[in-house]
A and B are shown apart, each in its own frame.
Chain A
Amino acid sequence: MRIVLSLNGRRTRLDVHPMKRLLDVLREECGLTGTKEGCGEGECGACTLLVDNRPVNSCLVPVAHVDGSRVMTIEGLRGRHPLQRAFVEHGGAQCGICTPGMIMAAVALGRKPGLDRVRAGLAGNLCRCTGYEAIYRSVMRAR
């Protein structure tokens, strides 16, 4: 099936099986390995990316669903997003495997979210290293 989408701001055409997971298409067809798989069942959030500015677990999305949509992955932030800087400066990334998904979920929270909003907004993203405290510090102090 032919699929046309905006991928990280670039119009992209794909010829793929419509039921293939968006996660696999990105990692295997598009060479975008920044999006990670942690559980394959939408529980851990490591594969979080933005579809039309909303965070989704890309392991649960058949690629056909994003036909005509805007998809943004960690690569799309091009290292310029204040959250990326903050995650390095404040220890929000330890092993780093949850980090791309965590940052994308945090991007969806918008500018200067309060702590309650951060906790609720990141509740679908598991991190086993930090106990989340350094992630809160990173998100709250990003500027």
Chain B
Amino acid sequence: MIRADLLQRSRLEGLQGSKSADRVPAFVPSDNRLMTRSRRLNAVGRNVLRKEGIEKVTGTVRYIDDLSFPAMLHARTIRSTIPAGEIVGIRLNFDTDGFTIVDHRDVPGRNVVALIEDDQPSLAARAVRHVAEPILLLAHPDRDVLRSADVEIEYRQTSPQYDAGTSPAIFKTIAIDKGDLEAGFRAADVIVDGDYRTGHQEQLYIETNGVIAVPDPDGADHGITVYGSMQCPYYVHRALKILLGLPDEKVRVVQTETGGGFGGKEEYPSMIAGHAALLAWKSGRPVKLVYDRVEDMLATTKRHPGVIRHRTGVTRDGRLTAMDIDVLLDGGAYATLSAVVLSRGVLHATGPYRCDHVRIRGRVTMTNTPPNGAFRGFGAPQTQFATEVHIDRIADRLGIDPVRIREMNALGPGDTTATGQRLGADTSALHVLREAVKRTGFKRRRRQLSRGLTPGSDPSRTRPLRGIGLSLIFHGSGFTGGGEVKLASRASLALTERGARILVASTEIGQGTRTMHAQIVAETLGIPYDAVEVNAADTGVVPDSGPTVASRTCMIVGRILQRCAEEMKARLGRMTPKQYLRAHGPLMITKEYERPAEMRWDDATYRGDAYGTYGWACDVVELEIDRDTWEVKPVMFTSVHEIGRPIHPMLARGQIEGGSAQGLGYALLEEVVMRDGRMANAQLTNYIIPTTLDTPPMDIVMLGIPYPHGPFGAKGVGEMPIDGPAPAVVNALRHAGIDLREIPATPERVMRAELSSLKSEVKCEV
């Protein structure tokens, strides 16, 4: 059995952690090159070894399901089986001896999963709004006994709402206006309309959601500690305080090594942590609650499906004169983060294009399906999918090249966005576009393939159809609008004998938080990378650095750490850490987020600087369409990203490659089938994510134009890679002659699109 205190120790020891494990893995890098490099000073920009890399490849790192506590109970969640209605009665058809049973009446504080609206109960009391809504919790020492417990729930059903478009329950609306839309349309030679649809997407981290709640042993005045897989320990901390009615210091939340998040562990851990805590509170024993894959897929949040309408005015030569955009997102049954997802969605709805006259209307509504929530990209993949497909349709209509229309309209330094933000010198839409076009020989390749597509070129229709398409994308780094000011994130740096220890609530979820933060601190202090340790994300110890979301962990939290390190360096003067500690005692420096002086944002009018800065990317996809099965196979993928200066180029590349693969899954494979408000394919057998054989070779280029307010010029990177692949794929399909306006582009959809275009051709001939 693995004790939890070992966990903390191994986490703190970073690279040395493996020494504390029972079976000591001997790990020596193949040559000393990488290690030596990391001991040299310049840490930033180098591919130093990942802090917890050795534990990960030896299997010694502990995820939540690898941990166990004495006298621990296992837990199970009883969920609704109807999409809408009321609970009439609950019958327990088992011997309850030895069970801990919790329902809404056992909540000591407020029965909510506290987030933005506080509309979602931790446990349904009477009303049920979606399938898989938690109603009852069971815990028992024996998992087999637990599994066999039969609970029967009687409901009075009401008629469910599945259509987000007609739903009267609106979580949030946002309006953005720029210039004079009617004047923009008057200046247009051509007006192009289009509706675009995007589906749900499941984050599908390979480690499912899980937590262990441990009640503190001592008497009446006790508190609780929750360990778990999560992105945002302080979100969970706040939710637990409100659910249990406890003060700050009685709740402690510790992130365990987390096997992927992608937004799926942003808000949901507050729910599951609350459930384990309620059971632990009632039983007085540690309680483990780990979902299996089916439960995780049925119950937890997904990407919001979207319907986006464009009406665009354009001059004959391709200049955008007016953009009228309507964004509708399906929020599911509770508000979760929907308002913020919508915000990022509408703020990216014009794509990276200059237009003087813009109207954007966004709304997210309630439906009786499991709540949708955070997922990498956070609204931007939906809206930019629509824009990028629409831009290609406009180019088609005008008979101009898809590269040309983008070159004409791409945002550049000094241009303003839809909210009136004047863009800085690091605005690189044209750079990434030109680099991607040059690198792939896009225009030539497109002509070549087009010739193959002309009637008569393949009379037997035996060759697969081929097409090539591109997308141009931008993505704001950090929280939207005034979000970072409201968060007021803090980070701390403690002096140690060897160097420094980082204390932040930012979590390592695979992206390399610990490593990249340590590089920033090492570089600033002028000490070796290995001399910087990273504390566990434990609310008992670390300050609230805000959530690990929104491509903010490097640019925002990294910058705060850099400022801590600058002050530490000044305090040290010429002393070594050891000398300083001996002379002055412990040194801990804490800094808070500082808004760049020129940043302005007005939440009431939605005007101003929506983000500190933006990343820019251009994706090119070439694909093949099987004429018999209508399967679409990407055969080549190129992505050019401008993300400021990458702190750790290999990790940054990993973000781009991984996000691109996830984006290709969104484009082609990943379909959540909702039947009667329930996910009908909640398992990996039929919810398909890309395997090695579905993922094309990737050519990744990183351009770096430093952002003055990011640490060493860095901007955000995590989310942007998922925005571009889907529109590039659908634009490549259009190039191959298939007019599709929704994703995922499954064989069924591609076939239907092809058949309906054939039908319309036949009609024309008649």
How many A-B pairs fall under 8 Å by CB?
193
Shortest Cβ distance from residue A32 to the other chain B in the assembled complex, whole angstroms = 8
Do A96 and B61 form a contact, CB below 8 Å, given A88-B53, A131-B695, A133-B698?
yes
A91 to B56, CA, bound (A): 11
Q: Which of B191-199, B258-266, B328-336 contacts A (4 or more CB under 8 A)?
A: B258-266
**Is B88 interfacial (CB-CB < 8 Å)?**
no
Mark A1-42 against chain B: 1 for CB-CB distance below 8 A, else 0: 000000000000000000000000001000111111111110
Which residues of chain B come closer than 8 Å to A92, judged between CB atoms? 57
- Inter-chain contact A103/B57, CB cutoff 8 Å: yes
Which residues of chain A come closer than 8 Å to B62, judged between CB atoms? 33
- Inter-chain contact B695/A132, CB cutoff 8 Å: yes
- Inter-chain contact B58/A79, CB cutoff 8 Å: yes
Which residues of chain A come closer than 8 Å to B260, judged between CB atoms? 94-95, 97, 128-129
Q: Which of B77-85, B203-211, B413-421 contacts A (4 or more CB under 8 A)?
A: B203-211
Q: Which of B343-351, B655-663, B735-743 contacts A (4 or more CB under 8 A)?
A: B655-663
Shortest Cβ distance from residue B377 to the other chain A in the assembled complex, whole angstroms = 14
**Is B677 interfacial (CB-CB < 8 Å)?**
no
Nearest A residue to B67 via CB reads A33
Which residues of chain B come closer than 8 Å to A94, judged between CB atoms? 260, 510-512, 654, 658
Do A130 and B691 form a contact, CB below 8 Å, given A75-B59, A82-B30, A95-B206?
no
Nearest B residue to A80 via CB reads B26
Nearest B residue to A88 via CB reads B53
In chain B, positions 43-102 with a C-beta closer than 8 Å to chain A are 47, 49-50, 52-63, 65-66
Which residues of chain A come closer than 8 Å to B258, judged between CB atoms? 95
Which residues of chain A come closer than 8 Å to B259, judged between CB atoms? 36, 95-98
**Is B685 interfacial (CB-CB < 8 Å)?**
yes
Nearest B residue to A92 via CB reads B57
In chain A, positions 84-123 with a C-beta closer than 8 Å to chain B are 84-100, 103, 118-120, 122-123
Nearest B residue to A85 via CB reads B30
**Is A71 interfacial (CB-CB < 8 Å)?**
no
**Is B149 interfacial (CB-CB < 8 Å)?**
no
A19 to B292, CA, bound (A): 19
- Inter-chain contact B205/A95, CB cutoff 8 Å: yes
Do A134 and B654 form a contact, CB below 8 Å, given A79-B54, A96-B510?
yes
A127 to B692, CA, bound (A): 9
**Is B300 interfacial (CB-CB < 8 Å)?**
no
A133 to B22, CA, bound (A): 33
Q: Which of A36, A93, A132 contacts B63 (CB 8 A)?
A: A36
- Inter-chain contact A40/B293, CB cutoff 8 Å: yes
Which residues of chain B come closer than 8 Å to A122, judged between CB atoms? 692
**Is B324 interfacial (CB-CB < 8 Å)?**
no
Mark B657-681 against chain A: 1 for CB-CB distance below 8 A, else 0: 1111110000000000000000000
Shortest Cβ distance from residue A88 to the other chain B in the assembled complex, whole angstroms = 4
- Inter-chain contact A84/B692, CB cutoff 8 Å: no
**Is A65 interfacial (CB-CB < 8 Å)?**
no
- Inter-chain contact B206/A98, CB cutoff 8 Å: yes
Nearest B residue to A122 via CB reads B692
A122 to B692, CA, bound (A): 7
Do A91 and B651 form a contact, CB below 8 Å, given A97-B260, A119-B693?
yes
Which residues of chain B come closer than 8 Å to A39, judged between CB atoms? 293, 683-684
Which residues of chain A come closer than 8 Å to B206, judged between CB atoms? 36, 38, 44, 46, 95, 97-98, 126-128
Shortest Cβ distance from residue A64 to the other chain B in the assembled complex, whole angstroms = 18
Which residues of chain B come closer than 8 Å to A128, judged between CB atoms? 203-206, 260, 262, 658, 662, 689
In chain B, positions 340-358 with a C-beta closer than 8 Å to chain A are none
Nearest B residue to A34 via CB reads B59
Shortest Cβ distance from residue B266 to the other chain A in the assembled complex, whole angstroms = 15
Interface centre among B58, B258, B509, B689 (most CB of A within 10 A): B58
Which residues of chain A come closer than 8 Å to B26, judged between CB atoms? 78-80
- Inter-chain contact A88/B54, CB cutoff 8 Å: yes
A27 to B660, CA, bound (A): 34
Which residues of chain B come closer than 8 Å to A77, judged between CB atoms? 58
Which residues of chain B come closer than 8 Å to A95, judged between CB atoms? 205-207, 258-261, 509-510
**Is A50 interfacial (CB-CB < 8 Å)?**
no
A130 to B206, CA, bound (A): 12
Nearest A residue to B664 via CB reads A131
Which residues of chain A come closer than 8 Å to B56, judged between CB atoms? 87-88, 93, 96, 99
Q: Which residues does B use to contact A, with CB under 8 Å?
A: 1-2, 18, 22-30, 34, 47, 49-50, 52-63, 65-66, 203-208, 257-262, 292-293, 509-512, 650-651, 653-654, 657-662, 683-685, 689-693, 695, 697-698, 700
**Other A-B pairs beyond A33-B2, A78-B23, 9, CB < 8 Å:** A34-B59, A75-B23, A79-B26, A85-B27, A96-B57, A123-B693, A131-B657, A131-B662, A133-B698
A-B contact pairs, 13 of them (CB 8 A): A31-B1, A33-B62, A34-B58, A43-B683, A75-B58, A83-B57, A85-B27, A91-B650, A91-B651, A95-B259, A129-B658, A130-B661, A131-B695
5 residue pairs, one from A and one from B, having the closest CB atoms: A34-B59, A79-B25, A95-B510, A97-B259, A131-B661
Q: Which residues does A use to contact B, with CB under 8 Å?
A: 27, 31-41, 43-44, 46, 73-75, 77-80, 82-100, 103, 118-120, 122-135, 143
